[in-house]
Amino acid sequence: MATNDIITKLKKNNLLGRGGAGFPTSLKWDMVKNAEAEKKYIVCNGSEGEPNVFKDGFILENYPEEVIEGIKIALETIDNSSAYIYLHKDYYEKHTHKLEEIIGDLPITLFKKTGHYIASEETSILEVIEGKRSEPRIRPPFPPQSGLWNYPTLINNVETFYYVAKINKDEYQNTRFYSISGDAQNGGVFELPENYSISQVLEETNNLPNFDFFIQAGGGAMGEILLPNELEQPTEGAGAIIVFNRKQTDLFVLMKKWTDFLLQGNCDKCAPCREGIFRLAEIIEREINNPNKHSLDEFFKAREQTLQDLFFVLEQTSFCALGKCAVIPFRSLIKKLK
Amino acid sequence: MKIIINNKKIEAKKGQTILEVAKENNIDIPALCFHSDLDIKSNCRLCVVEIKGRDGLHTACSTKIEPEMEIATESEKIIKARKINLELIFAQHCEECNDCIWNFNCQLLKLAKKYNVEITRFTDRKKGYPVHQFGPSLIFDSSKCIDCRNCVDVCQKQCVEFLEVKERGHLFQVIPSKDKNKDCIYCGQCITHCPVGAFEAVGEFEDVEKPLQDKNKTVIFQFAPAIRTSIGEEFNLPYGSIVTEQLVAGIKKLGVDKVFDVSVAADFTTVEEAKELTERLKNNKNLPMFTSCCPSWVKFVEFYYPELIPHLTSVRSPQIILGGLIKTFWAKKENIDPKKITVVSIMPCVAKKYEIQREELKVSGLKPVDYVLTTRELAYLFNKNKINLKNIEPMEADNPLGIPSGAGVIFGASGGVMESALRTAYEKITGQCLEKLEFQQVRGMEGIKKTTVEIKGSSVKTAVVNGIRNAKKILEELKEDPKLYEYVEVMACFGGCIGGGGQPVPTDSKIRKQRAESLYQIDTVKEIRSAHKNPIIKKVYKDFLNSEEKIHSVCHTRYFPRKKD
C-alpha cells in the first residue's frame, strides 16, 4: 500500500541509503518526486561487488517480494516512472526467473551489470544502462536532477528498497544487514540493529574470536582495519565485517588482494586512481616477490615517501569515492599492524 | 557575480567554471585534459584548487563558480598534488621531445619545471606500446598517450568514432577501431587536440627535408590559403597575424625555385565549380552539389555515404589543380620537363597527404603534387634553417601563379568556398555585376549556416558546414528531403582549414576565429575579389585550358566507394 506520505515515513524513520554512502533516503525520494520532467526513472542497485560484501545477494535470495514491493512503492510515489533492477551477473543469473514472476506487469526491467566494480557506483550504473563505458559522471548534476538519459532518477540499493517496504508496513525496527566473513567461526548475513557496535554484532552472532585478531569493517577492499580495542563503533559502509587471525594472516598477501581488486575494479578514468593504484600494486607485488622478506615496518620505512605520496593524490585528487577510499585499508593497516 | 581568486576580487558570469574565469583573468591553472572544443572530463586532475569553506581539493574545470566564492589556485597542498600527479602522468608518456609537434612548447615540460617534477620517478608504464599509422596521413604513438581521451572525444565529436577506448587487462588503451565499418578520414583533429603530442602527421618531422634533397629537380612550393594567417604563431606572432609575404620570403630562403599561391588555384576551382553548379541547377541534376576541396569530407562520403558520391562536384581541389597546371601549362611555358619538377604543397591539413596519393588525379602519368608538408612542418623547416618570419624582408609570390583574388584567399575559412562560388555564379548567371560581394550569412564559426541566395529571380538554397558531425546532420536531413538544399559546402575541420589538423598547436575556437578574420581582412583590401576576374584565370583559359579535354584532365576528377584500408 503506497501513499504519498511514504516520504514522511522515510524521513521519520531516518532511513539512510544502504549502498554504503548513507545518504538520507527521504531526501532522494523528495528530490526525484518534485523534479519537473516528463518521465523519471528508478534504479534498484543489486550489484554489490566489493569482496566480502554479500548481503544484497542474501536479501534477493530470501526477501525478493519485499524488494519488489519497495520498488513498487517508488513507482507509485513518483509519477511517470519506470524502473530497472541492476544486478550483479551472478545475481542476475540466479534470481531472474523468480524476480520476473514477482514483477508481473510492473514496469520493471532487469539489467545485467557489465564492466568493473566501479559499475556499482551510482552514476556509473547510469552510464552502463545507457550502453556506455562504466565510469562515474561529474556531479553536479546529481541523478535525482539528471540521471538516466538526463531524466530525474532515483537510485537506491536492494537493502534500501527492502526497508522501504518494511517502513511502509510500519515494520521497520532500525535494523540493517551485516555480512560477516573471513576467519569468523560463524560467518553469514545477519539482520541486527543498525546502531550496534561491531563488538555487539560479533558477540550476538557468536563471532567474537578467541584468538589474536583484527578486523576490516565496511567492505573487504576499502574498509578500515580495526584492532580489538576499536570495536565500540558501528559498522560503516556496506556493513561488512571481516575477521582476520592476526598470526595466520600474511599482510602483504592481504594488501595484494586489495590491489588486485582495485586494479580490476576501478575505471581508470582519472590519473591518480589509474596510475596510483597501478604503482601501489607494483610496489606490493615487488615486495611479495622479494626473496629478502621485510617486516611491514621495514617495508613501509623503505617506501614511505612513495606510499605517502600515492595515498595523498589518491585521497585528495581522485575523481570518485573509489580512489578516495582506496587508501583507507592501506593506511590503517600500516599504522596499526606494523 | 563577484568571486575572489588568490585574494583578488574578480567579476565573473554565472554559469562559468573556475577554470574559465581563471583563463579570462590570466590566472594560470594547469589543465591537460581540458579543451574548449570538448566536454569537460576532469581526468587529469591537475587543475585542482582550494575553495574556502569546502574540504579537500576541487577541479577547476568542472566546478562552477558561486557568489563570493574564495579560491586559491596555488598552495602547498595544491602544488604537492600537481607534482605527484604529473610524476604519475610522466610515467605514462615515453618522451621523444626532439620529434614532437609541440616543439618544446610543451605543457608537460613547462609544468615539470614549474612544479619541480621528477619526470623519471616511476618507470615508463607504456614502454613498448604500439605505434599505429592511419593511411598516409597520421601516426599515433600510444606509448606517449596519457589516457586523457581528448582524441577519442574529438573523433566522436566528428562522428567518425574511429578511435576507441579498449580494455586491455585491467587497464584501457586508446586504439583505432577494428570495425570494418569505421575508418579514419584523416581530419587530424586528434593531433590538434592531444595535449602531449601522441599524434602527428606521417613524416613529421623526420621527412621535412626530403623534398629539397633532389638537386636535379626544379622545386616549387605552393602554399594553401589558410597558412598565411596561422604560421606566424610558430614565431610567437599574435594569433591571426597576416604573414603572406614573409612566408614567401622564408620559403625562398630555403633555396626553393618558385613559390606559388594555392589561392590562385582556388580561383580556378571556383570558376569550374560555379560552372558546374550553374549546369546542375539548369538541368536539375545531382542536387544538391557538394564541395570537394576537403579530402577528409570526400573520404567520408566515399566511405560512409557512397550512394551520395554523384553529389560531389567533380572539380579538383586547389592544390591538385595548381600542381597539374605547374606540370603542364607552366612547365611548357618555362620549357622544363615536368618529370623534373617537384611540387610541394604547404597545407593546414594532414588529409592532403592522402589526397595526393589518389591515382585518378595523375596528369599525363604524373602526380600533380609530390609532397605535402603541414604548416607545422614548414615552420620546423624554417626554424631548422634559422629562418624567422618575425624579421624577414617580405617578398611576393612568383608570377604567373602567385596572385590570387580575394575569393581565393577566403577558401581557408568555413564558408569561403561557398562565398567565392556565389560571387562568380551570380555574375555568370545574371550577367550583372554583384554589388555587394560579402555574403555575411555564410561566414563565421557556427557549425551549420543555412541561407537562401536570390539569383535572377530563383533562389539557391545553401548550407555551409564545418565539422563532420554537422555534415552528417545535413546528409540525414537530405535523406528525409532531398530538395532541402542546392549547394552544400563541407569542411571536416572546425572553422574550416584555419582549424585544420596540420595547423599550429594549440588550436581552439578563439584562435580559429582570429585566423579566419584575418583571411577576410585580406579579401577586403584586394582589388580583385572575384575568381573569374583574376587576369591569370582569363589568360590560362585562353592559352591553355581551351578545350574540354584539357579542362577535364587538369580540373576534374572522379570518386569511388571505399573500403577500409
pLDDT in tens, B289-346: 999 999 999 999 999 999 999 999 999 999 999 999 999 999 999 999 999 999 999 9
Q: Does B173 touch chain A (CB under 8 A)?
A: no
Q: Answer whether A317 sits within 8 Å of B43, measured CB to CB.
A: no
| Residue ranges of chain A assigned to CATH 1.20.1440 | 251-337
Q: Does B558 touch chain A (CB under 8 A)?
A: no
> Are A218 and A237 within 8 A, CB to CB?
yes
Q: Which of A270, A278, A313 lies nearest to residue B43, judging by beta carbons?
A: A270
Q: How far apart are CA A202 and CA A243, in angstroms?
A: 9
> Are B403 and B397 within 8 A, CB to CB?
yes
Closest CA to B264 of B492, B501, B540: B540
Q: Answer whether B77 sits within 8 Å of A316, measured CB to CB.
A: yes
Mutate to test the interface with B, among A261, A275, A320 (most CBs of B within 10 A): A275
Distance from CA of B154 to the nearest CA of A (A): 17
Distance from CA of A192 to the nearest CA of B (A): 34
In sequence order, the 6+-apart residues with CB closer than 8 A to the CB of A139 are A123
Q: Answer whether A138 sits within 8 Å of B125, measured CB to CB.
A: no
Residue A145 has pLDDT above 70, yes or no: yes
Q: Answer whether B48 sits within 8 Å of A317, measured CB to CB.
A: yes
Architecture of the domain delimited by A6-168: 3-Layer(aba) Sandwich (3.40)
Q: Is B53 left (phi over 0), alpha (psi -120 to 50) or beta?
A: left
CATH for B214-555?
3.40.50.1780
Q: Answer whether B42 sits within 8 Å of A133, measured CB to CB.
A: no
The pLDDT of residue B82 is: 98
**How many Cα atoms are found within 13 Å in the side-chain-facing hemisphere of B52?**
12
Q: Does B147 touch chain A (CB under 8 A)?
A: yes
Tell me the CATH class for A251-337: mainly alpha
Q: Answer whether A275 sits within 8 Å of B125, measured CB to CB.
A: yes
Q: Answer whether A268 sits within 8 Å of B147, measured CB to CB.
A: yes
Q: Does B171 touch chain A (CB under 8 A)?
A: yes
Nearest chain B residue to A275, by CA:
B88
Show the cell assigned to B87.
610524476
Size of the A and B interface in Cβ pairs below 8 Å: 67
Architecture of the domain delimited by B2-74: Roll (3.10)
Mutate to test the interface with A, among B44, B85, B161, B167 (most CBs of A within 10 A): B85
> Chain B residues with CB inside 8 Å of A138's CB?
40, 42, 62
Nearest chain B residue to A305, by CA:
B84
pLDDT < 70 regions, chain B: none
The pLDDT of residue A116 is: 74
Q: Answer whether B81 sits within 8 Å of A312, measured CB to CB.
A: yes
| CATH among 3.40.50.1450, 3.10.20.600, 1.10.760.10, 3.40.800.10 for A175-245 | 3.10.20.600
The pLDDT of residue A4 is: 58
CA distances from B294 to A217, B320, B412, B485 (A): 61, 12, 11, 19
Q: Answer whether A279 sits within 8 Å of B122, measured CB to CB.
A: yes
Q: Answer whether A271 sits within 8 Å of B146, measured CB to CB.
A: yes
Q: Answer whether A319 sits within 8 Å of B57, measured CB to CB.
A: no
Distance from CA of A268 to the nearest CA of B (A): 7
Mutate to test the interface with B, among A135, A261, A270 (most CBs of B within 10 A): A270
Q: Collapse the DSSP code of B64 into the 3-class scheme (helix H, G, I; strand E, B; otherwise coil) and give the result.
A: strand
Nearest chain B residue to A324, by CA:
B56
pLDDT in tens, A182-239: 999 999 999 999 999 999 999 999 999 999 999 999 999 999 999 999 999 999 889 9
Which runs of consecutive H residues, i.e. helices, occur in B115-201? 150-157, 189-193
Measured between its terminal Cα atoms, the distance across chain B in Å is 54
Mutate to test the interface with A, among B44, B77, B79, B84 (most CBs of A within 10 A): B84
Overall fold of domain B98-201: Alpha-Beta Plaits (3.30.70)
Residue A1 has pLDDT above 50, yes or no: no
Q: Does B1 touch chain A (CB under 8 A)?
A: no
Which runs of consecutive H residues, i.e. helices, occur in B363-464? 375-384, 406-409, 416-430
Sheet of strand B199-201, all strands in order from the earlier edge strand to the far edge: B131-134, B138-141, B199-201
Q: How far apart are CA B156 and CA B135, in angstroms?
A: 19
Q: Does A317 touch chain B (CB under 8 A)?
A: yes
The pLDDT of residue B565 is: 73
Measured between its terminal Cα atoms, the distance across chain A in Å is 55
Domain ranges of chain B: 2-74, 98-201, 214-555
Closest CA to A274 of B106, B199, B196, B91: B91
Q: Answer whether A316 sits within 8 Å of B81, measured CB to CB.
A: yes
Q: Does A270 touch chain B (CB under 8 A)?
A: yes
Q: Does A285 touch chain B (CB under 8 A)?
A: no
ipTM of predicted assembly, 2 dp: 0.95
